[in-house]
Structure 1
Amino acid sequence: MRSYLAAEGLDVAEAVRQGALVLSSSQNHLVNGAFDVDNMLDMLEAAVKQALNDGYRGLWATGDMTWELGPKNGLGNLIAYECGLEDLFHQYPALSGICQYHIDTLPASAVDKTLRTHRSVYINEMLSRLNPFYGVDDAPAPVESADTHKEMVGWLRAQEC
């Protein structure tokens, strides 16, 4: 991550020294190795409040969800977390973020459900601010025959945003 940021022109060492950039691989959000939804949401809420108190305009966070879920793979909590996170995005407009999903390593049903929890989705290099699958419980409305996450992702990739 550091090398990518540096390649884009960011003085990574200075940003870290100032506290403007925090790169962490800690898993403090896990409780006894298991993903804890409330703990993670509380940590994000505290972090955005701290960023604002420190004079920043907001907080941008990202996480690799396969890694974030921890060794005990808390897929059962994943949707509750994503829905809670969407609520935080609305409660704190200064909070932005990307949950990274590797569609080839997570169960299809998990990716399918998470695509429905956020108003915006970012796939590869494309941001869709109006996710047509947001809040749709069953088959996605814009794709008549889509019943898999790969078809949903394919449909989103084909759209002009």
Structure 2
Amino acid sequence: MKIGIISDTHRNIKSIDKAIPYLKECDLIIHAGDNIDDAEYIYYATDVLVKCVKGNCDLYNIDEPYELTFLVKDKKFFLCHGHQYDVKWGFDSLLKIAKDNNIDIVVYGHTHIPVYKKIDNIIFINPGSTTYPRGGSECGFGILTLDNDISYKEIKI
């Protein structure tokens, strides 16, 4: 199963459109916030289910959640934007949430810096930003593959 992971698109349709050909090949897409309305655009452009949360720039959208927990192929995911968990200063808050809730994979955004890291057998993924990369990274997103093994590929656009 291929899962497209994208975040911090910030209503830049031009950059999102560069990701669409890759995302069309996925079985599921995860959008980790900022701007959650972009998740709807991605859904209509790909016809692939998009699970999404709002971020710190999505204050106007009161009906959408700030975090989600869901299962994909027996892996328990925790999805959040990350601003409520101090992700700019480390993984401690997310690690505690993950351990307390038996989470296998944590997906977050907010920092605009790509991360794929395993801590205590928990995978942490931040796809970076398609629009405003930081920390010397490039515009991009990622694709997580769940088969017998788990693999992750950063896609630069």
Q: Which has the larger radius of gyration?
A: 1
| Larger strand proportion of the pair | 2
TM-score (norm. length: structure 1): 0.33
| Larger helix proportion of the pair | 1
TM-score (norm. length: structure 2): 0.34
